[in-house]
Structure 1
Amino acid sequence: MVDLADIFGAQGPLAAAIPGFAVRREQIDMAIEVEHALRTRGRLIVEAGTGTGKTFAYLVPALLSGRRVIIATGTRNLQDQLFHRDLAVVTRALGRPVHVALLKGRANYLCLHRLALAEQQAVARGLPREVALALPGLREWAQFTRRGDIAEFGSLGDADPLWPWVTSTRENCLGPECPSFDGCHLVQARREAQAADVVVVSHHLLMADLLLKEEGFGDLLPGADAIIIDEAHQLPEVAAGFLGFMVSSRQLQSLGRDLASEVVSGQVRGEIPASFAQTMDRCLADLQDALGERRPSGSTWRGDVSSGRGAPGGGTGESSHAGMGAGRSPGSRIEFKDWPAGVIESLERLQRLLDELSDALAEAAHDHAGLASLRRRSLESSTRLRAMLANETELAGQAAGVRWAQSGHQGTSLHYVPVDVAQQLGELIETQAGTWICTSATLAVGERFDHFIGRIGMKDPRTVRFGSPFDYARQALLYLPRGLPEPSSPRYTQQLMQAVLPVLRASGGRAFLLFTSHRALRQAAQHLSGRTPPPPGFPILVQGDAPREALLARFRDLGNAVLLGTSSFWEGVDVKGGALSLVVIDKLPFAVPDDPVLKARLEAIERRGGNPFFEEQIPQAVITLKQGVGRLIRDTGDAGVIMLCDQRLHTRAYGRIFLDSLPPMPRTRRLEDVERFFQHTVDSPPSAAVPIAADTPGLRPNGDSQCGNENGQEQG
């Protein structure tokens, strides 16, 4: 058997192939656990702290096993990194060529048929001007692209309005009946995946495949001996989106536009098809107006349960989950029980319109694949609307779920999401006979994995937790400022920013300010921009002013910037080096309990006699906080300060749960210690660094203000 300690050792092939490779005991131990799970076809859940090198820790044993492996990630960025960089490095180092494939959701591939339809629409002046102007360049690219991955068409961003017109969705794909089927980029990518030893996919695509297998509709992915899920903390929310369903104004508008394309091409005639798009738009406008009659009291800060890039026919969940996009506030959410009569009436009109369309297309659909697809989509949308409007008696026997409407400047959508996906997800896992491995830097609460296991329904997994190899005792300082009000105070954000300013001066900028709400972010941005004179020496970057990747690139280039962000900056962001030396977190990231799905989960826990706060809200907030804190130390040469501003960490007994879940590092409540740390540790070479002395017990959960030694410092 191959000795993994040798492979990951100082004289091993990885060290020889990778400049600056560091031996990490945690990485070796994780690789041993993964190898054992692969060999025994076991179930493994492993938390690997930041810096462990978990990607290589699962790639090496996976490649050496000779088994067929699917690796599922939470983001397209990590998919691309795995495929284009990490797998190439490992296969080269091991000297074992392996057939590897990258498979993304269909919304990531150019659809040649829809490109042709869009060009017809452009000739008929049926396209928005910016879309029509972009088509010639896209057509030129389409002539030579091999993969058709729209990420390779670098001149347009993910959210460009062109993409919904030239990519397919599950609803509008014609399948083998498509005139462009032989050249279909998605089909080619799936064929490559079927022949590969290792396939890199998203969580969304993995869930879509599991559900298709369960329903007997075939495979998106090849049969695999092992499934490895990275960023596994995201899996329960992704599963909830897939095990439910959605109807959106974008889907219905896309249906109308595609029908108009068939009318333009002369494939369909009749009074209903000709006027369908206009009638649909009027019905959707009425629905939007009716939803405006009632506004909810709030919404979750973390974004939609199910999201994607938002193609007009989209919402299938196949595009990557990015959470709340840059600059978007969560839409207004209204639970089913609170829908005004006008909403019900608008939905009933939409359902009748869809039924009329499907009836009108019934005969012509027999001889035309495009019309058959349109009829199938109208029937499916009508069925979903009928389920949305069903009463509780009609829904008896189905898994408990939550229905709500969401309205905002991105459009209107109707959602059904099951309250608890553990049983269904657990059954899907059990149908796969091979190895299952879930890994992330944030799965445990304290030392326990009960919460995550309960969310995914996995039976009898082995659980292992590896801490970070980074020297947090030397590299980091946790600052818990005194004197701030309770987070519920109306002046909380203003007073928080007063406490943050001297820390920003000490750090010279180089900071992430992470907020739990868009409102707090806006208030903080106004506070900084409204100061006279403005804060010296560092530029201010605010989420929403530019796309996330552009903001991050600007942040890295400037080297002394302050970036204000919400949920999309709490995870999946990697800034190594001196550009980031301070992470400020405004509040403990509790999800707002009037989110419909969370509210239903809490009520279900209460009905069975549990404590929803400690069983659901605290564990989820701990995992999110660990993600935010993990933005700071990304390399052995990094150093900096974590500033947690929420006073509940030391005024509430549960504060200890959060603090005990963080990496062990010195703590202080004194600004002077922070300034000294920046002066002697962050801004000095390692040999000159002066560690913060920390020799007393940590914060007492009763909130006693006399914490630590006479210098106010504590040991985490």
Structure 2
Amino acid sequence: MTNKYVVVDVETTGNSYNRGSRIIQISAVVVKDSKIMEQYTSFVNPEMPIPAFIKDLTGITEEEVTNAPTFDEIAADLHSILEGAIFVAHNVKFDRSFVAGELKSAGFNNPIEKTLDTVELANILLPEANSYKLEELSDEMELEHLNPHQADSDALATAELLLMLLEKAKSLPATTLETLCKLSKSLNNNMFSFFESIKKEKAGQLEHLQDDLESFRGIILKKKRIPDQEVSLQVVNYPKNENEKISLLQNSIRDFEARNGQFEMMDTVYESLDTDIHSVIEAGTGIGKSLAYLLPSVYFSAARQEKVIISTYTIQLQHQLLDKEIEVLENALPFSFQTALLKGREHYINMLKFEQTLYELDSSYDETITKMKILIWLLYTKTGDRDELNLSSGGKLYWKRICNDGFFVEKQIDPWTCHDFYLYSKRLAENANLIITNHAMLVADLNSQVLPPCSHVIIDEAHHLEKAVRMKLGQQLEYNNVKYMLGKLGTSEKKKRFYKLDRCMAKSSSVPAFQTYLMDRAIADLDIETDDLFILLGQFVKFHRTNKSKSRRIKFRLTDNTKATAGWQRVLMCAERFLDFHKLISSGIQERLTLIKKNPPVLSAGELAFLEEMTGFYEDWLDLGQHVRQLLLPKESQDVIWLESDEKCTPNRTSVHCQPLNVNQFLSEKFFKENKSVVLTSASLTVNNTFKFFNKEIGIDSFDRIEKKIASPFPYEKMAKIFIPTDLPEINVTPMDEYVESIACHLIGTALAAEGRMLVLFTSHEMLRKTYELLSESNQLADYVLLAHGVSSGSRGRLVKSFQQFQKAILFGTSSFWEGIDIPGEDLSCLVVVRLPFSPIDEPVTAAKLESVETSGKNAFSAYSLPEAIIQFKQGFGRLIRKQSDRGVFFVFDQRIITSVYGKAFLRSIPPVKMETGSLEYLIPLVEDWLKKK
């Protein structure tokens, strides 16, 4: 019998029916036979005022509900609609609680017996969705959703989503459905019934797997194929003149515009690769630098039969290169080439471990959902890369169990060898002309060769290289991570790893089993020492802290003086006890694994998966001991070590961090010396028209190189204008709260003039939060949508998308918003820099660098602080103009840009544009006039 679904959405006065909140609008959509049959919608008089924030969120007014029926008056109709149906909602617990509560209050029995949550269902069936919020899913799936947060529109969008998910579920292979049914038995909301009914519906149908799918050991997954490496028989000549480049690209790029700067960069990159010389290229906004380095790289690779590595800082750009720029070149070039994306092995799923976890009977809710979504994902993933998945926090912990983190199992006895995603990605890379990776992977490869041999590298977003290297070479010690690892060893029968190791060992050796209880005791003792260690670290931070702010994490750098205190000596003694127990456990694991490797037994697939997991765990376990020694025990080092915590300095919020002070020598010896040609490019590399600061920071200053600064093709003087208010207080001598009030007042005036469409860049999250709160409370921007990073919910990408959806919106951002976001067109007309982006002098690495520069006899401000801030400032300015038709205003609220000696250096760093200074009252008409000319 066909299921009848009723998709329900309610708008309410609050979050809890039991606490007095009531329904103000309800909509029910009847779905049957894969069709929407009817929709019932009604406003509801809640017989109480509607809170202001609910009015703002939903757009529902008091007038609309005053004359509406009470719930009692519509209860009979709703009861009739719901009877015998499966109750469906997006976050079903919320809607069900209100409907059931209102029906009971009206004297009706509860007709809701079966429920289905489309959040949960989408989580399983749409594993790659960016978000599972209804509004965002509707956008991504292109479902009609005209009025978010109104019940009729929400219910209809949810019904459309349900139909789409039903069709997707019906298209699943029978084997996959069978496993989903088994896993879903432990879930709520009748998920088992949902998949079971679809399985029964398909039971009588003859099924043939799609040609691109295969079944292996009870799991259906996409077939893998290594592309043939076609050797071009024709001579591959790089198009050196402009007409050749235009002819090549204009037929494959829509609205192609010939840009001299792009052609100049292409020639520079090709020269660098072809003559085996390094190069540093600053390419202004609008150059089209991705294509400018990809095209010559492909020609060079095809002509010389050598690989080229392309390294980026962000995952987003890696995939953009593959999905967009590479596709353009494939259509444009007269010969074929191969491209591969390669990441660290922990990014890839280990199918042996995943297969064995499917048989576990006691998985948590998050683990079960993640297993189900991975089964769906395997039907179409070509990479097995976790970055394709939207994982919950619990899902990320589960991924640590099943990722490709160790190779204990000999590949010839691993049944999944031919389906191993990590080995597959390496094989693709071995056959590729271009290998796309990231800075972190590139650095890791310098110490352990994973990437195929290659001596020609392109570094995009090169201004991040120094930071990426520091982070990759750095270490950290976190309470939660240590506890997680101890939990992995476990003391319960279910997780007693040493007991399982002894069982495996007994199959391979006549050596008597070890005394597992001794290891259990060591684990318990180490668990206690972990608590003690992080309590002592927290107390140390609390005693020495100088920052009294309650809105940011505390960072405290360790110096020789602080290490000489009695408090630190107590930390050292505890760390030594920690390492004693850690060493005992390490020896136990190593001894067992060594015996098993010496005499490989015949093991079940489950035992093989366990050993694979333990091998990866053992590597991480050894790293933990190394981190404790290097971070806490006395040693001579140039590394910067610091403690982080919150205002309460609790153990689970306390961590220890370490990064090298400088990486220039490391890069010089390990990277630039070892490669024939490295091309470094970014939009922001020069300071005062020289690459001197950048070259020294990354260690390329002693090598022969090409240096090229290619200006943006945009006529900035016609597109942008700088405004600097002179009636703001001096930033360094004004109390925070007073300064924030002034900033807020100026932002109100600026926002009104620009009609929103404004990005405000801060250097301090505390100042951002206080400004946001002040503007929210003032009600002077009531018609504007205020979005603040770290305050408003959502990721950086989601906040940017929300910002673009509203005509009158203001987006507040800190460090990550100064670069890497792209808001072209009228969505962004006004950019405000609140403070010049100098790094805080108490930030541990910055403080250590400043001391080091001073010790060398140089002025730390001019030699380090100023150049670093200028590069960040250039990045910030680059957010305003993204394409030829853009036009906007650039506000700098920090008067130091015109009053200080160094201020002109900031202005010289950006393209020449007209500047206006004066009181805000004087500037506002000029802003309005400039923007009206758009």
Which TM-score tier does this pair reach, normalised by the shorter chain?
0.7 to 0.9
| 8 Å Cα contact 2:538-2:654 kept in structure 1 | no
1:78 aligns with 2:317: yes
Q: Distance in 1 between matches of 2:518 and 2:761?
A: 51
Aligned length: 639
Deviation of the 1:662 alpha carbon: 1.3
Q: Distance in 2 between matches of 1:438 and 1:262?
A: 48
Q: Distance in 2 between matches of 1:91 and 1:132?
A: 41
Q: Which moved more, 1:165-174 or 1:508-517?
A: 165-174
1:427 aligns with 2:669: yes
| 8 Å Cα contact 1:298-1:594 kept in structure 2 | no
Q: Distance in 2 between matches of 1:90 and 1:487?
A: 50
Q: Which residue of 1 aligns with 2:888?
A: 640
Q: Distance in 2 between matches of 1:330 and 1:461?
A: 41
1:332 aligns with 2:558: no
| 8 Å Cα contact 1:272-1:357 kept in structure 2 | no
Change (3 A) 1:523 1:232: same
Q: Which moved more, 1:424-433 or 1:132-141?
A: 132-141
Q: Which residue of 1 aligns with 2:715?
A: 471
Change (3 A) 1:181 1:347: farther
Q: Which residue of 1 aligns with 2:770?
A: 523
Q: Distance in 2 between matches of 1:7 and 1:245?
A: 51
Matches within 5 A, 1:299-318: none
1:391 aligns with 2:672: no
1:247 aligns with 2:247: no
Deviation of the 1:28 alpha carbon: 1.4
Q: Distance in 1 between matches of 2:680 and 2:377?
A: 38
- Residue type matched to 1:407 in 2? S
- Residue type matched to 1:197 in 2? N
The counterpart of 1:351, out of the listed 563, 574, 579, is: 579
| 8 Å Cα contact 2:479-2:534 kept in structure 1 | no
Q: Which residue of 2 aligns with 1:165?
A: 398
Q: Where does the alignment leave 5 or more consecutive residues of structure 1 unmatched?
A: 213-218, 302-327, 686-716
Q: Which residue of 1 aligns with 2:752?
A: 505
Q: Where does the alignment leave 5 or more consecutive residues of structure 2 unmatched?
A: 1-236, 503-515, 597-610
Q: Which residue of 2 aligns with 1:229?
A: 459
Q: Distance in 1 between matches of 2:342 and 2:899?
A: 48
Deviation of the 1:353 alpha carbon: 2.3
Q: Distance in 2 between matches of 1:652 and 1:457?
A: 31
Q: Map Cα deviations across residues 601-652 of structure 1 (whole Å, 9 max, x no partner).
A: 2112111211111111111111111111111100011111111111111221
Deviation of the 1:165 alpha carbon: 2.0
Matches within 5 A, 1:21-170: 21-65=256-300, 66=302, 67-116=306-355, 123-124=361-362, 127=364, 129-142=365-378, 144-153=380-389, 156=390, 160-167=393-400
- Residue type matched to 1:57 in 2? A
Change (3 A) 1:494 1:165: same
Q: Map Cα deviations across residues 389-408 of structure 1 (whole Å, 9 max, x no partner).
A: 3324xx3xx6x222223335
The counterpart of 2:931, out of the listed 664, 677, 682, is: 682
1:403 aligns with 2:638: no
| 8 Å Cα contact 1:257-1:277 kept in structure 2 | no
SS of 1:161's equivalent in the other structure is: helix
Q: Which moved more, 1:441-450 or 1:134-143?
A: 134-143
Identity %, equivalent residues = 28
Q: Distance in 1 between matches of 2:620 and 2:386?
A: 25
Q: Which residue of 2 aligns with 1:688?
A: none
Deviation of the 1:659 alpha carbon: 1.1
Deviation of the 1:330 alpha carbon: 4.6
Q: Which residue of 2 aligns with 1:174?
A: 407
Q: Which residue of 2 aligns with 1:593?
A: 841
Q: Which moved more, 1:54-63 or 1:435-444?
A: 54-63
SS of 1:664's equivalent in the other structure is: coil
SS of 1:621's equivalent in the other structure is: helix
Change (3 A) 1:518 1:113: farther
Q: Which residue of 1 aligns with 2:115?
A: none
| 8 Å Cα contact 2:348-2:404 kept in structure 1 | no
Deviation of the 1:276 alpha carbon: 6.2
Matches within 5 A, 1:199-278: 199-212=435-448, 219-260=449-490, 263=496, 266-268=499-501, 270-274=516-520
1:290 aligns with 2:533: no
| 8 Å Cα contact 1:605-1:611 kept in structure 2 | yes
Larger gyration radius, structure 1 or structure 2:
2
Using the size of structure 1 for normalisation, the TM-score is 0.83
Q: Map Cα deviations across residues 479-506 of structure 1 (whole Å, 9 max, x no partner).
A: 1111212223212222112112111101
Q: Which moved more, 1:646-655 or 1:74-83?
A: 646-655
Q: Map Cα deviations across residues 497-534 of structure 1 (whole Å, 9 max, x no partner).
A: 21121111011110111110110110111111111x34
- Residue type matched to 2:931 in 1? V
Higher relative contact order (CA 8 A, sep 6+): 1
Deviation of the 1:343 alpha carbon: 3.2
Q: Distance in 2 between matches of 1:476 and 1:381?
A: 52
Deviation of the 1:34 alpha carbon: 1.0
| 8 Å Cα contact 1:245-1:417 kept in structure 2 | yes
Q: Distance in 2 between matches of 1:576 and 1:187?
A: 40
Deviation of the 1:39 alpha carbon: 1.3
Deviation of the 1:26 alpha carbon: 1.3
Change (3 A) 1:284 1:553: farther
1:543 aligns with 2:785: no
Q: Which residue of 2 aligns with 1:361?
A: 589
- Residue type matched to 2:582 in 1? L
SS of 1:47's equivalent in the other structure is: strand
| 8 Å Cα contact 1:42-1:435 kept in structure 2 | yes
Q: Which residue of 2 aligns with 1:188?
A: 424
SS of 1:12's equivalent in the other structure is: helix
Q: Map Cα deviations across residues 112-147 of structure 1 (whole Å, 9 max, x no partner).
A: 355356556x6345x4x4344433222343355331
SS of 1:480's equivalent in the other structure is: strand
Q: Distance in 2 between matches of 1:277 and 1:501?
A: 58
Q: Distance in 1 between matches of 2:248 and 2:856?
A: 54
Q: Which residue of 2 aligns with 1:308?
A: none
Deviation of the 1:592 alpha carbon: 1.2
